[in-house]
Amino acid sequence: MKRLLVFLISLCSLQVAIAQPYSAYTDIRLQFYVFDNAAANQVEHLLPIDYKIGKNAVAYLDNQRIFKIYKDGQSSVVNDMFTTNFHVSDNLILFKSANMLSVVDDGKVVLLSKLCNRYAMGDSVVLFYDANRSSFNGYYNGKTTELETFLNLRDNDFTFDSTVKVSDNIGAYINYNEQFKVFYNGESEVLENQTVKQFQVGRDIVAYVDINNIFKIYYKGQSFTIDPFPPKSFMVGDDVVAFHGNDGYFKIFYRGNLITVGYYEPRYHVADRVVSFADPNGFFKVFYEGEQTVIDNYYPEKIKAGYNSLVYTNKANMVRMFSKGQMYDITTMTLLDLRLDYDVLQYKVGFNAFKIFYEGNHYN
């Protein structure tokens, strides 16, 4: 409790600032560094057991299994050697201590359940099953809402990742009565009174095929009937759905508008705000914020994408990055590894030697 109090006081004392991008790595001495506000800050002298990077913080288990959060230049202890698992997102840090499920939201630790082994987290929403109360609940904006109550929950009744899915600020699930529901802006709404055949979720959006094989999209509280037949494939991101329709056309639904790209079977991928795809001529394109941009004359085999960015290596061994509508040539050096943390590119050029690229600037 003393550690928890110290953590709360330290977080509350931080000045409110614009969120800075984060990345993290261990150097050749196995010391732990966090890239924060264009600088690499040494956080720990010893290699952490695990760390995960969010938009506004870095959560980690230090060498002694003490659970800590790095934010705005300092680390704070959450608890001592009790955390068994943790996850981070844009706005939340969720962690388990034994069977207890808690979330750090806006500097406050909120206990969600004293007995929980099923949960899913988005940027600002958590769906979880409380085994003590036999209830299925949604957490959003500091409030927990009971969504469903079960007298006896069996393993095949409520399977997360198949009947329960969460992304960013929205969750969707099929309840025990086979109703298809959405949890959005802290409210529950029935979308279908009969089960759906498949569904995916993204920020503000749910795409699904209903019991009659009709393809539908729920977007910001409004339902759209897209096609009377199920698509051959579809992927959902933030405010966007890309799909290969039953009619053979590749289409993109973006913020209420339907865009037809072409009549062909595409290679494509959706990650957050970025849709990457091969056009009918095989050119590599990116759809971002309503605009299509030609990236290269071929579609690469390996792509890393997320948030507002995409990274790949072209045939000339140049690492290229599309970020927030801009293209950057990063390096032709042979890389041992690279990772994309939101819009921060971290790449490894030697044994535990790292470089950072963010918004047109290189950092050692």
**Residue pLDDT, tens place only, 88-141:** 999 999 999 989 999 999 989 999 999 998 999 999 999 999 999 989 999 999
Is a pLDDT exceeding 70 seen at residue 154?
A: no
Closest CA to 142 of 126, 164, 118, 160: 126
3 state SS of 4? helix
Burial class of residue 152 in the structure, from the number of CB atoms within 10 Å of its CB (0-12 exposed, 13-18 middle, 19+ buried) = exposed
Q: If you write DSSP's letter for every residue of 82-138 in order, what string do you get?
A: -EEEEEE-SSEEEEEETTEEEEEETTEEEEEESS--EEEE-SSEEEEEETTTTEEEE
Cα 189 from Cα 172, distance rounded (Å): 9
Cα 133 from Cα 113, distance rounded (Å): 9
Burial class of residue 160 in the structure, from the number of CB atoms within 10 Å of its CB (0-12 exposed, 13-18 middle, 19+ buried) = middle
φ, ψ for residue 246 (rounded to 5)?
A: -60, -25
Tokens of 165: 């899915």
38-46: long-range pairs with CB below 8 Å, 24+: 38/358, 38/361, 38/363, 39/363, 40/356, 40/363, 40/364, 41/73, 43/70, 43/75, 44/75
In tens, the pLDDT along 291-319 reads: 999 999 999 999 999 999 999 999 999 99
Give the strands of the sheet with 326-331, arranged side by side: 304-306, 309-313, 319-323, 326-331
Q: Which of 6-10, 77-81, 281-285 is predicted least confidently?
A: 6-10
- The residue with greater pLDDT, 199 or 8, is 199
Q: If you write DSSP's letter for every residue of 275-312 in order, what string do you get?
A: EEEE-TTS-EEEEETTEEEEEESS--S--EEETTEEEE
11: Cβ contacts below 8 Å, ≥ 6 apart: 69, 71, 76, 107, 108
What average pLDDT does range 226-233 have in this prediction? 98
- Give the chain's length: 364
Tell me the pLDDT band of 346, cut-offs 50, 70 and 90. Answer: very high
Q: What is the mean pLDDT of the chain?
A: 91
- The residue with greater pLDDT, 153 or 281, is 281
In tens, the pLDDT along 167-201 reads: 999 999 999 889 999 999 999 999 999 999 999 99
Tell me the pLDDT band of 351, cut-offs 50, 70 and 90. Answer: confident
Is a pLDDT exceeding 80 seen at residue 3?
A: no
3 state SS of 58? strand
Is a pLDDT exceeding 60 seen at residue 9?
A: no
Give the strands of the sheet with 361-363, arranged side by side: 337-341, 344-350, 353-358, 361-363
Please give the pLDDT value at position 10. 45
Is a pLDDT exceeding 90 seen at residue 325?
A: yes
Please give the pLDDT value at position 350. 79
In tens, the pLDDT along 41-91 reads: 999 999 999 999 999 999 999 999 999 999 989 999 999 878 999 999 999
Cα 164 from Cα 270, distance rounded (Å): 20
Q: What is the pTM of this model?
A: 0.90
Please give the pLDDT value at position 1. 44
133: Cβ contacts below 8 Å, ≥ 6 apart: 149
Please give the pLDDT value at position 160. 84
Residue at 327: amino acid letter: M
Cα 276 from Cα 284, distance rounded (Å): 7
Is a pLDDT exceeding 50 seen at residue 5?
A: no
**Pairing state between β 222-227 and 164-167:** unpaired
Cα 305 from Cα 309, distance rounded (Å): 6
Tell me the pLDDT band of 353, cut-offs 50, 70 and 90. Answer: confident
